[in-house]
Structure 1
């Protein structure tokens, strides 16, 4: 047995911990760039209240909200320029995975001179980053505990994975109470995304004993409580368990990486701006149906944790879960067209092969095309 596991992220997990934010970040300085997106967090007054509590504790807060659901390199450039202009000492990202991804990338770009695409494309590595503090408000992405971001390049339509050790957050404040305002549809998509992180991490070729422990518990918690929580938002233990499951999966995938579900979905959401969790709901059953025999033992364990008996009913259990979450999705209904497939295939070949090779079986080009067609 031989493995390396390193995740130097301080995790503060506690219901109500958002109100400890001023005390938790004081060691990093006084000037803050607060990164989030337009929408509920701003419209509800939540971001303004967070900024007010910080300002009452002598912090200088600059709010940046120009972040889309699929964040772009343009937003990173703009946010980094603002951080430099205001001489910010830290970046706090609040929201779902897109906003946290963008916050990490802004923290990185603010301390490096070349354009962000230079680093995303691997032409340079970077030298430093501002401290990034992340606060998730969706229980799905795990972005708060890993060193990766997904950034769209509007010029090409590519959704680009970007990973850098300098983007590891210094602190993640995980408050399950912040998830309670999620609309049911968002909870379903986010929760299923967390499940895909756990399942693909478990099936990963780079997985190891510690990541397996993390993701098996994540799958167990989601199988036990995601549907219950979806049907009863007053289930406090469910909020804590589903949030914990998302964080555990995020911790694992930082080391294990993900698989073809993400490798095939990222080009779709990059091209058609599809909600990531819904894209995963369309693709994962098709992918697993084509590959469950490649590692029967692991697919059987996934099935059992979701209430099934063995590898032969793994996809059945996933489809049952999707029905109960009102998340039966076809990519055609989300905006994808069959004529997109050649473009998507080229994007997979240039941007996503690391995902596809990190799996018990590597799909051929013909099989990738067939998966997209079946998911339409």
Structure 2
């Protein structure tokens, strides 16, 4: 048995974990640059909680709340300009995947000049990122513990990642109470995203026994919330389980990266505006069934962790959560399949799909 694992992010998990560890913030600077969205961080209490801790520690801060869903390079540049004007020396991301990825990109670019056309070229990267702290307020992305910042990429007509160990946050504060107000659709899509991270970790070329154990634990946490996700009624315990599922999915993702599921989902988000987790869900069942034809054992372990009998039951459950499908044409599916087939996620899949198999997964996902 041979494997390795690395993740330098200090994790604080649980209700009121910010107030339990206020001293962490003064470790990294004197003025925080808070990156968040326009509304949710104010309504769920996370922004007030962070500002209260900063005030308690005699630290100053400024707020950039113009993040956009599915972050763009221009939105990152706008935040970067404000950070430099404010002379902030560390960054705090508060929110779901979009604010956290925006925060990571801003911190990464604060002390190095990389033109837009070179932004996804790892040979240009230097270890100059500002310290990053993360406060997730959804349970899906896992960005608080990964080395990726995912941005829209018009050149590839997809999403692309700034990927480097320099992007690992210094610390992450995961308080499930900040997710109590998340609406049912968003809770479902983010949960499916977290589930896909762990499933893809097991069905990745980079999977190993340690990753599989971690991933199965995350999948089991999702399984314990199946009824709540179906009914759209969530207790604090459900929110805690989903945040734990998301955290483990992020730890898995940081090691294995993604597979065909994310490659396909990115096209659906870029072209159709389908939320990321939902886009993954439209492809996840089909890829699981395809992999099962050659590698049945890991699929059996995934289904067992979910307390499901077979991949048909898994697909039926996803169908129930996903509901009515978006409109898509056969021509669009063919175009997306051609583009997806050449993406670097594909060879990372345990069973790399052919272009026709990618198209078939799309067709099955949209019931065509």
Q: TM-score, normalised by structure 2?
A: 0.91
1:84–1:327 Cα change, 3 Å: same
Cα deviation 1:158-210 (Å, max 9, x = unaligned): 31122111000000111111111111111111111111111111111101122
Compared with structure 1, are the counterparts of its residues 83 and 20 closer, same or farther at alpha carbon in structure 2 (3 Å cutoff)? farther
Separation in 2, partners of 1:21, 1:117: 40
The Cα RMSD (Å) is 2.3
Name the residue aligned to 1:188: 188
- Whole-Å Cα distance in 2 between the matches of residues 30 and 222 of structure 1? 39
The residue that corresponds to 1:70 in the other structure is 70
CA distance in 1, matches of 2:304, 2:44: 41
Match of 2:244 in 1: 244
Would the aligned equivalents of 1:76 and 1:109 in 2 still touch at CA under 8 Å? Answer: no
Q: Do the aligned partners of residues 210 and 282 (structure 1) sit closer, same or farther apart at CA in structure 2, a change above 3 Å counting?
A: same
- Asked if 1:38 corresponds to 2:30, the answer is no
Instruction: Assess if the C-alpha contact under 8 Å between 2:122 and 2:164 holds in 1.
Output: no
Q: Deviations over 1:219-270 (max 9, x none)?
A: 1111122433664756332222221111011101111122111011112212
**What SS is found at the alignment partner of 1:194?**
helix
Other structure's SS at 2:302 match:
helix
1:118 shift after superposition? 1.5
**Residues 76-225 of structure 1 mapped to structure 2, 5 A cutoff:** 76-154=76-154, 157-225=157-225
Q: Return the alpha-carbon distance in structure 2 between the equivalents of residues 231 and 18 of structure 1.
A: 31
Return the alpha-carbon distance in structure 1 between the equivalents of residues 261 and 339 of structure 2. 14
Distance (Å, rounded) in 2 between the aligned partners of 1:291 and 1:156: 26
The whole-number CA distance in structure 2 between the counterparts of 1:225 and 1:373 is: 28
- What is the CA–CA distance in structure 1 between the aligned matches of 2:39 and 2:316, rounded to whole Å? 31
Where does residue 332 of structure 2 map in the other structure?
Answer: 340
1:328 paired to 2:339: no
Q: CA separation in 1, counterparts of 2:263 and 2:289?
A: 17
Rounded to whole Å, the distance in 2 between the matches of 1:109 and 1:342 is 37
Cα distance change on mapping 1:228 and 1:21 into 2, 3 Å: same
Q: Name the residue aligned to 1:262.
A: 262
| Count of aligned positions | 366
Q: 1:226 to 1:16 in 2, by over 3 A?
A: farther
Range moving further from structure 2, 35-44 or 297-306: 35-44
Return closer, same or farther for 1:43/1:156 CA change in 2, 3 Å cut-off.
farther
Aligned to 1:363: 353
What is the SS of the residue equivalent to 1:294? coil
Contact 2:285 2:314 in 1 (8 A): no
Question: Contact 2:34 / 2:61 at 8 angstroms: preserved in 1?
Answer: yes
1:317 alignment partner, SS class:
helix
Whether the aligned pair in 1 keeps the contact of 2:31 and 2:88 (CA below 8 Å) is yes
Q: Is residue 41–residue 47 contact of structure 1 (8 Å, CA) maintained in 2?
A: yes
Deviation at residue 20 of structure 1 after TM alignment: 4.4
1:106 to partner: Cα distance = 0.9
Counterparts in 2 of 1:126 and 1:271: CA distance versus 1, 3 Å: farther
Distance 1:349 1:320 in 2: 27
CA distance in 2, matches of 1:224, 1:234: 12
| TM-score of the two chains, using structure 1 as the length reference | 0.90
